[in-house]
Structure 1
Amino acid sequence: MRPRIAILNPNSTERMTTEMVDTARAAIDGLADVVGLTNHRGPASIQGPADAERCLDGLFALVDEARENGAHVAVIGCFDDTGLATLRSTAGLPVVGLGEAGCLAGCLAAQKFAVVTSLDVSVPVIADNIRAMTLDARCAGIHASGVPVLELNAGAESLRRVQDAIDRTAAAHPGCSIVLGCGGMTLIANQITAPARSRIIDPVVASVHMALAALS
């Protein structure tokens, strides 16, 4: 039986679910079936603790739906790893968080990693998660691009602002890997130019590979 990976989008934006699923399918090239589920009870994007709190009931229901429909592993499609600890203890299947997977991949790619996320409101949440993973000694910094999640597909201007944030981060932390700190950034990941001596980590790609590893 082919493994089945369910990407659970905690927010209500279908487009973002589709983008993450498309990226995941391309990354694993047929090694598993990848499906996406969207939390229509959640906010349009997850930006900070208040949004995370609003999405939880719907997200927990998505895990039940995924399991009932044959998923072998679930991926929480939000870099904040919303609800991850609770779901790991209750879901009845392996659960992978975008943030955790991205940061671990960043550690493999270089001795230190930095995160470029969307807005300043997301930085404390990500920092707390990195400390909880005991990866804070490996994290060189967390930087906001100033581009809201829902504007990441707005074209050249949003791409330029994210690229500028990545370039500044690479200049501040030479040799670090740079983790894209938002699931919505997967849409522009292949348009980003990696600065010299830096690797760009798309957490959607990292999470789907980790999902496969959890089943091996």
Structure 2
Amino acid sequence: MRIRVVNPNTTAAMTAVIDECARAVAGPGTVVEAVTSTMGPASIESHYDEALAVPGLLAEIARGEAEGVDGYVIACFGDPGLYAARELARGPVIGIAEAAMHAATHLGRGFSVVTTLARTVGQAVDLAERYGMQRFCRGVHATDIPVLELDDPKVRAVIADTCRAAVAADDSDAIVLGCAGMADLCDYLTEETGVPIIDGVAAATLSVQSLVTLGLRKSGRGEFATPPPKPHTGPLTPFTPNGPTP
């Protein structure tokens, strides 16, 4: 089984963190391939960033389809391009916010999301509503740490403080980490907070692995069927009805 984990931003150092966390949970016989988008923003912290990250993400999905990849993880908490990616792929495509929120509901009555910049709080709230998680998501809390500064060891204490404050304010039973760049902090934050800490990269990797193991693939009918053919112009010319040219 081959699972491709796509980092939709262009920062290779973040992909390395994502790769390590995804590989750590993959079962025997599962090959995890973490890839960095070749076009788009260095980090995704706004609707603008998210929109510009989608073409690069779709190019990686199309390349994976040509190479026989079995399933995909979108390793950004905004789950950018998730539905478009499902149109292109034959196998399952799971976003890390989607997977983490669902996993959190198995561990308690409610969860909080701890994310990066305050400007992304509304997007996390919207995702909880999209996935039917409003009744479980008790709050979204920002650390105000930019994505590209998450690898600084000094910010770990700030993230831990925000997690503890979220648990106290929301009376939550678990914390969902709101950025793929936080994926390697689970053990540390669990020890600091005493509640389950859910990393969406690991949760989504296992979700894809489970679906493929069950022999389940994307439905090819209706909304997620291959997009209908039509011309594309300008920089989007290579994006054919069957997905971008790898």
TM-score range, shorter chain: over 0.9
Q: Deviations over 1:122-150 (max 9, x none)?
A: 11111111101111111101111111111
Q: Give the SS at the match of 2:4.
A: strand
2: CA distance, partners of 1:28 / 1:74:
13
Asked if 1 retains the 8 angstrom alpha-carbon contact of 2:116 and 2:146, the reply is yes
Counterpart for residue 137 of structure 1: 135
Asked if 2 retains the 8 angstrom alpha-carbon contact of 1:153 and 1:187, the reply is no
Asked if 1 retains the 8 angstrom alpha-carbon contact of 2:160 and 2:193, the reply is no
**Stretches of structure 2 lacking an aligned partner (at least 5 in a row):** 215-246
Counterpart for residue 33 of structure 2: 35
Alignment pair present for 1:162 and 2:191: no
Counterpart for residue 79 of structure 1: 77
Q: For residue 111 of structure 1, what is the amino acid of its counterpart?
A: R
2: CA distance, partners of 1:28 / 1:121:
33
**Stretches of structure 1 lacking an aligned partner (at least 5 in a row):** none
2: CA distance, partners of 1:106 / 1:158:
24
Counterpart for residue 173 of structure 1: 170
Cα offset for 1:29?
Answer: 4.4
Cα offset for 1:31?
Answer: 4.3
The alignment-based identity, stated in percent, is 33
1:6 to 4, 7, 15: 4
Q: For residue 122 of structure 1, what is the amino acid of its counterpart?
A: T
Q: For residue 130 of structure 1, what is the amino acid of its counterpart?
A: A
- In 2 relative to 1, CA 53–172 (structure 1 residues): closer, same or farther, beyond 3 Å? same
- With the length of structure 2 as denominator, give the TM-score of the two structures: 0.83
Q: For residue 201 of structure 1, what is the amino acid of its counterpart?
A: I
1:201 to 175, 181, 198: 198
Q: Deviations over 1:131-190 (max 9, x none)?
A: 0111111110111111111111111x2101101100100111234210011000013333
Q: For residue 198 of structure 2, what is the amino acid of its counterpart?
A: I
Q: Deviations over 1:49-71 (max 9, x none)?
A: 11001111111101011122221
Cα offset for 1:208?
Answer: 0.8
Counterpart for residue 66 of structure 1: 64
Q: Give the SS at the match of 1:109.
A: coil
RMSD after superposition: 1.3
Cα offset for 1:94?
Answer: 1.0
Counterpart for residue 221 of structure 2: none
Q: For residue 173 of structure 1, what is the amino acid of its counterpart?
A: D
Q: Deviations over 1:12-56 (max 9, x none)?
A: 001111111111111124341000111121111111211001111
Counterpart for residue 111 of structure 2: 113
1:211 to 194, 208, 213: 208
* Structure-to-structure mapping, 1:45-64, within 5 angstroms: 45-64=43-62
2: CA distance, partners of 1:47 / 1:184:
12
Alignment pair present for 1:88 and 2:89: no
Report which of the two structures shows the higher radius of gyration computed on alpha carbons: 2
Q: For residue 57 of structure 2, what is the amino acid of its counterpart?
A: L
1: CA distance, partners of 2:172 / 2:53:
36
